[in-house]
Amino acid sequence: MSEQSAEWTGRHYLHGGTVKITATDGVITAIEEQLSSTSDLWISPGLIDVQLNGIQGIDFNDPQTSPEQILQAVRYLHVRGVVHFCPTVVTSDSEGMSTCIRTIGQACDRYDEVRYSVLGIHVEGPYISDEDGPRGAHSREYVRDPDWREFAAWQQLSGNRIRMLTLAPERKGAVAFIERLTREGVVAAIGHTRATEAELDQAVVAGAAMSTHLGNGAHPVIPRHPNYIWSQLADDRLWAGLIADGHHLPPATLKSMIRAKGEKAILVSDANHFEGFPPGRYLKRRQHEVLLDADGRLVMADNPAIFSGAATPLNRCVENVARFGICPLGEAIRMASEHPARMLGASARGTGRLAVGAPADLLLYEQSADRRFHIRAAVSQGRTVYSH
């Protein structure tokens, strides 16, 4: 069988120098600096979204969603520059969650594109706080204590693809559960919690490695200090997922958190199937009504102080970080590519980086003077999967 080669030229997303990248059979084989170029294109790794509940009308949490729709979602994500992601299944009844997890596993088994794009399933809940505020938009009736037999059944249905689970450390049995997740190679993430600093520390000692959408899934009013947001922000052992849609975290808050977390800041979208929808009032999963504003803010209709996920894709979150003046666009891309790959343990094979030997998962893009992020092409395994 003959080797398949391809090459791309653009300005390196971090240092701005022009490089030519060559790939053979989907793997980067050379990165060569170019002395001169008139290209306006920049080149970076593809984006990685570790918290994605759905996209463009396709809901990963609807038991009626099919494997074919998961494939459609993967192809649409390429338009948004997302080459890898963690489909996220949230709190519901055990049967409903089982169905959704099974469907994602089936899509991975059936379609090479899906199997490659999915770095792992993220289960968010149901082992979270039942208090208003920390519980967020998760249904109280389905919140429960950790149950290893339930989780093991889900893992089997997924084809051993559950890679991350978000839970509240204060739940009964949570610390032992975190220890077991860690032994099994599953990232234990802290979220939707009201835990004390001591309980958070116990969770981290047990192996918890990530804060899910830090600053959200919280009481609207908390003591100024100490509180569970400050405690997680200050813990250098924890990665932090940050929703940069401009609503979940105001720019000043987002900037402060990125500054505090540095190399452990990860940009996530937390987007759901209302991404791309026009403003309006919608029924979400036949359970509750939500309001989608023209600016993309998505909230509970009966309590607009509580978000119901997000409706902004990851590429716009990346753009926001640059547009808010927090850091250059290239550094924002790094927080949505290299950082999540490192958190998931995927960087050892080069995922999320531009490096010889790494997968040829690339973006070609333009950036305007107002720091807008215009994706012109997405490449997965050395193959152009989107161009504009």
Q: What is the CATH number of the domain that holds 67?
A: 3.20.20.140
* Same domain flag for 360 and 342: no
Q: How many separate helices (H) and strands (E) can be counted in the chain? A: 11, 21
Q: Quick one: 362 and 343 in the same domain? A: no
108 pLDDT band (50/70/90 cuts)? Answer: very high
Q: How many CB atoms lie within 10 A of CB 99?
A: 18
Q: What integer is the mean pLDDT of 193-202? A: 98
Structural domain for 377, as ranges: 5-43+355-387
The predicted structure's pLDDT at residue 118: 98
Over residues 131-190, the pLDDT tens digits come to 999 999 999 999 999 999 999 999 999 999 999 999 999 999 999 999 999 999 999 999
**Total number of domains in the chain:** 2
Q: Are residues 17 and 104 in the same domain?
A: no
Residue 31 and residue 50 in one domain: no
What pTM, to 2 d.p., does this model score?
0.97
Measuring CA to CA, how many Å separate 126 from each of 137, 150, 218, 240?
12, 11, 16, 20
What is the reported pLDDT for 2? 56
139 and 110 within one domain: yes
- In this structure, the answer to whether residues 39 and 94 fall within a common structural domain is no
Residues 97, 147 share a domain: yes
Taking only Cα atoms into account, the Rg of the chain, rounded to an integer number of angstroms, comes to 20
Compute the distance between CA of residue 309 and CA of residue 212 in angstroms, rounded to an integer: 12
Mean pLDDT of 32-46: 88
Pair 32, 53 in one domain:
no
Domain CATH code at residue 377:
2.30.40.10
pLDDT for residue 119 = 98
- CB atoms under 10 Å from CB of 184, counted, come to 14
Using CA atoms, how far apart are residues 153 and 102, in angstroms rounded to an integer? 10
89 plus 16 within the same structural domain: no
pLDDT bucket at 1, cuts 50 / 70 / 90 = very low
Residues 375 and 275 in one domain: no
User: For 303-344, how does the pLDDT look when each residue is reduced to its tens digit (9 = 90+)?
Assistant: 888 898 899 999 999 999 999 999 999 999 999 999 999 999
Is the same domain home to 217 and 141? yes
338-368 per-residue burial string, b: 16 or more CB within 10 A, e: under 16: bbbbbbbebbeebbbbbeeebbbbbbbbebe
Segment 47-71 mean pLDDT: 97
Q: Are residues 272 and 333 in the same domain?
A: yes
Residue in the structure block whose two tokens are 């963690």: 86
